[in-house]
Structure 1
Amino acid sequence: MSKHVIILKEKKAAKELLLKLREAQTPILNCDLVEPLDNKSDHENFNLDTSEEVFTEQSNFNNIKLLNPALARKDRQKTLATWLIPFGFIAGLSFSQMTDLKTFADMGFPNQLEKLLGGLVGMISGALGSFFSAGGTTQETFDDLRAIRKKSEQGFWLLILELPIEIELPWAIIKGTDSPEIISIGKE
């Protein structure tokens, strides 16, 4: 999927843009509206018509995985741990069985627990592997996130659109709005 962050001056413009995209039947996989980090401008002077609500909810900048690398890293760690911890246990158990080493028996543990302790060491290795391999972000993504955060701190609203990878943003519709900037963030 392709992810695009459309930076808008006000919430009303984001609502109108999304309505136009839906009228044009643009296939949107996910849509988030992120309020500015310095949110003083739009709350008082804009009433939302609840009968025609476009967004399911308005999000905070720090609660969106795309904009917060720490949340994305935690999600990757959980996913990796799901696979690496059981795999590490099985690998440790198999290694202890195949090599018939007496590492833990030499340390005073009962001989019967040798294979199980080898599996536990493999499981710990899998947990450490999931922690360290979840890693960070690329420099290009980091620069994009810094630019997006700066715009949000300046009071701009962020409309995050996720589209199927084969679908291009409808530029004719977007040019019709008062959009100062569009940032495309990686394709998955």
Structure 2
Amino acid sequence: MSIHVIILKEKKPAKELLLELRKAQTPILNCDLVEPLDNKSDHENSNLDTSEEVFANQSNFNNIKLLNPALARKDRQKTLATWLIPFGFIAGLSFSQMTDLKTFADMGFPNQLEKLLGGLVGMISGALGSFFSAGGISQEIVDDLRAIRKKSEEGFWLLILELPIGIEAPWALLKGIESLEIITLSKE
């Protein structure tokens, strides 16, 4: 999937671009319009009739996972936890049963709970693994996000287009609008 962040001075060109993309039948997976962080610009467009709104999503900079690494990290942690916690429990239970160690019995726990406590320890390690392995992002993405955030803080609108794999961006339409810059991000 290719992601293009188009930086615009106002909301109107973004709206016109999306209408042109729909006329050209360009397949779009997701389209987000992100309002500026300073909230001072584009006052005349804030009074537009919302019934003719063409954007699926118009939101704040900090609510977009692509632009906010903390949101993306929490999402990765949840996804990893759904897999690692149950597998950690099964692995801990299996290890306790295969080795027949008396680790918890030596600590004063009943012998019957040995395997169950081994499973719980495995489950805890799965939770810790999901927390620590969901961490960082590449430095290249961090640099791009800094530049995008700076533009948003300067009062520019951001139009985020996600296109399917194998679909070339309609560069003629993208270059035809009054954009300041187009930043292409690749999503793995």
Give the shorter-chain TM-score range.
over 0.9
1:17 is aligned to 17
Paired residue secondary structure (1:97) = helix
Report Cα offsets for 1:32-89 as digits up to 9, x if no partner: 00000011111x2123233421013420000000000000000000000000000000
2:113 is aligned to 113
Q: Which amino acid aligns with 1:139?
A: Q
Report Cα offsets for 1:83-111 as digits up to 9, x if no partner: 00000000000000000000000000000
Paired residue secondary structure (1:159) = strand
> What is the aligned residue count?
187
2:98 is aligned to 98
Report Cα offsets for 1:106-155 as digits up to 9, x if no partner: 00000000000000000000000000000111000000000000000000
Paired residue secondary structure (2:184) = strand
Q: Which runs of 4+ in 1 moved over 3 A?
A: none
Residues 165 and 187 of structure 1 are in contact (CA less than 8 Å); yes or no, is this contact kept in structure 2? no
Cα distance in 2 between the residues matched to 1:140 and 1:134? 18
Residues 38 and 155 of structure 2 are in contact (CA less than 8 Å); yes or no, is this contact kept in structure 1? yes
Paired residue secondary structure (1:26) = coil
Paired residue secondary structure (1:180) = strand
Q: So what's the TM-score if we normalise by structure 2?
A: 0.97
Cα distance in 1 between the residues matched to 2:52 and 2:60? 22
Cα distance in 1 between the residues matched to 2:37 and 2:2? 24
Unaligned runs of 5+ in 2: none
Cα distance in 2 between the residues matched to 1:167 and 1:89? 42
Q: Which amino acid aligns with 2:44?
A: N
Deviation at 1:174, TM superposition (A): 1.1
Matches within 5 A, 1:120-135: 120-135=120-135
Matched, 1:163 2:173: no
Q: So what's the TM-score if we normalise by structure 1?
A: 0.97
1:74 is aligned to 74
Task: Give the aligned CA root-mean-square deviation in angstroms.
Answer: 0.9
Identity %: 87
Residues 31 and 57 of structure 2 are in contact (CA less than 8 Å); yes or no, is this contact kept in structure 1? no
